[in-house]
Structure 1
Amino acid sequence: MPAVRLLVLGVIRRQQPTHGYAVRRELLSWRAETWTNVKPGSIYHALKQLTAEGKLQTVGTENSAEGPGRTLFELTGAGEAEFRRLMDVALVSIDMEELGAAIAFMDALPRAHIVAKLREQQRNSAQVRDELLRMIPEFPARHEPPHAPDLLELWSGVFANLTGWTAGLLERLEAGEYRTAD
């Protein structure tokens, strides 16, 4: 759910005021369903929850030729703070959905802040990789399941790849690629 909340807040932040269908359409155009668990129902649930929490406010209704009017939303001050909090959490995350959501909106933050958070994420992923690799020799010759060392190697490879990918992104950011808030 944190990734969905971040995606919804981020799209609304970019397009405000906007309605739920526009958020859904934007995320579909990014093919977000292929790299997150975002579904139409989760978008509308997040809109309802964020509004109830005071992070979004309704600012009117847009007429629609296809049915009833669409409720327009925009971020409140608390919504902006929640967006930034979720960005900071997601940028250091080793969870692919959360990290992907943060990368989608990293242009909302200053470059130095993004770099600092991604360096932390890189350390986190390298630490997980190293811990998994250290566990492999600890498994006795007879272990259950017998393929546990293979699983540890698989996951250590995933985190090695994440560590390397982050290094490449950091190089591009430090070279001045990508637009950022500053």
Structure 2
Amino acid sequence: MTKLLVLAMLSMQPMSGYEIKSMLEMNDAKRWAGVLPGSIYNALKKLERDGYVEVVSLENSGHRQKAIYRITPKGEDYQQELALECLGSEKINYPTDLYTGISLAYEIPKTEAISRLKKNKKQLILESQAVKTGMNAKEKALQGDIPQLTKIVFEHMFNVIEAQIKLIDATISIIEKR
């Protein structure tokens, strides 16, 4: 995923590794794509080694040189290939830890199980707020013109969080009745 996002950033314009990292942080890529900021530099090195990106200039920044990268035609093809792999991914992400905990909840003291579930629910509510903040920031950065495909991704994220909260509420209700 990191390589794909680095290529996507460079397909917009040439950038330094720091600029790519900043853009991905601003877009909260760690949250929605699992991209860690430090992994960007490693991905850049590999992409350069494989001919998908190239250094177009070196700029002096204090005592350091800053490399400016651009995507190559080979990199554009590779970006498409990676995007197609993502679109065809059959991977389904279930909250397996939560499912396992729920399946064993009767073996845990009732108050402790409910306490942990309520804590989980609070985290999901905070996550929903963080996604909302990210959506608002993106909307502001794009001057209210969020692409439709980005909108449906945000909508799906809210639906997933809401579904998990409903699961927790239903679980708490059942545990309370026992």
TM superposition score normalised by structure 1: 0.49
Determine which structure has more spread, i.e. the larger CA radius of gyration. 2
Provide the TM-score with structure 2 as the length reference.
Answer: 0.50
